Every structure is written in structure tokens, then in C-alpha cells.
Structure 1
Amino acid sequence: MVLTNLRALGQVTLAALVLGAGLPMVFALGVRLWSAAGTAGPGGSLRRRPAALVGACACLVAVVAVVIAGVLFVAKAFLAQRLGIHLFGQA
């Protein structure tokens, strides 16, 4: 019983670290890459960095996908009962 509770506590702690600290970190990385995608070069010309732009878009899309999945996970019972949409194994 104690080992089961400790294992569950570990899983909750890991999820809190990943979503609580990891997701804002990915968002901050996306914003940082977005700002580096077009920087001023010598003579005031704009230097484009397509790799930074692709990385920024990937980070921001990942954050939006996790937020949408979280909202759908919280609303899964409502969606199953009212609309007949069964997500995340909701019966």
C-alpha cells in the first residue's frame, strides 16, 4: 500500500515538474528563438535565420497542443456525456 502511494506520488511529481516547469520553459525558448529569427545585421540590414524560426514555431505549436490536450482532458466527462465524444478512454 505504501509503495503504491509512493509510486503514484512520484508520477504526480514528475508530471508537475514537466508541465509546471517544462512547458513554460519550452514557451520561453520559443519566444527567444522567435526574437533571434530576424536580427539586425551590420549596416542595419535584417538577417534572417530560418532555423530559429522553424524552432520557434515548433516550440509554440507544441505548447498550444499541450494546452488544448489539457483542456480536452479536463472536459472529457462533459464531452462524453453531452456530445457523445469519447476522448482519453472515457466510457
Structure 2
Amino acid sequence: MHTFLSNLSDLWRVTLAALVFGAGLPTVFAVGIRYRAQIDDGATGTARQTALAISALCFAVVMIAVVVGVLFIARSFLATRLGIHLLGA
């Protein structure tokens, strides 16, 4: 029973990560595109500034996630070849 609960706990973590990174990042990117389209449609004043801020924030979140993901994948290479220890390597 202990093994089953341990596997269930690990499965929950994997499922959560898949939802966040698998569906969450494309959703955040789509929201950024939607707000960017409001700027291109001729929004003015406060609506334009708000749409610009939200779209920039969405794109920044996606870019940071991509960079962290690449660094996470390459962390052992960076540690052994270049001596750069990132993300627990």
C-alpha cells in the first residue's frame, strides 16, 4: 500500500507539471497574443497601456520559462564542460 501511495504522489506531481508547462504556457502565450491584438485594433489611452503591460508580462513569463527549461536540460553539460553550476547541478 505504501508503494501505491508513493506512486500516486509522484503521479500527481507529474500531472501538475504537465498541466502547468504543457497547457499553461501555451495558454499564457495565447492571452499575450490576444492583448497584443487589442493594441493593433486601435485601443487608445489606458486600455492600450493596460493591454501592452499584460501582453508584455505574458511574453516575459513564457520566455523565462523557456530559458529556465533549456538551462535545466543543459545543466549537467554546463557543469562538466564549462564549470557553471545552475539549478542544482
Normalising by structure 2, report the TM-score.
Answer: 0.89
1:61-86: CA deviations, max 9, x gaps?
11000000000000001000001111
Specify every segment of 5 or more residues in structure 1 that has no aligned partner in the other structure, as ranges.
41-45
Root mean square deviation, CA, Å: 1.3
- The residue that corresponds to 2:33 in the other structure is 31
Please identify which structure carries the higher strand content.
1
Structure 1 residue 47 corresponds to structure 2 residue 49: no
Counterparts of 1:80 and 1:4, CA distance in 2: 31
Normalising by structure 1, report the TM-score.
Answer: 0.87
Specify every segment of 5 or more residues in structure 2 that has no aligned partner in the other structure, as ranges.
none
Alignment length (residue pairs): 85
Q: Which runs of 4+ in 1 moved over 3 A?
A: none
- The residue that corresponds to 2:73 in the other structure is 74
Higher-Rg structure is 1
Q: Which residue of the other structure, out of 7, 18, 21, is the alignment partner of 1:19?
A: 21
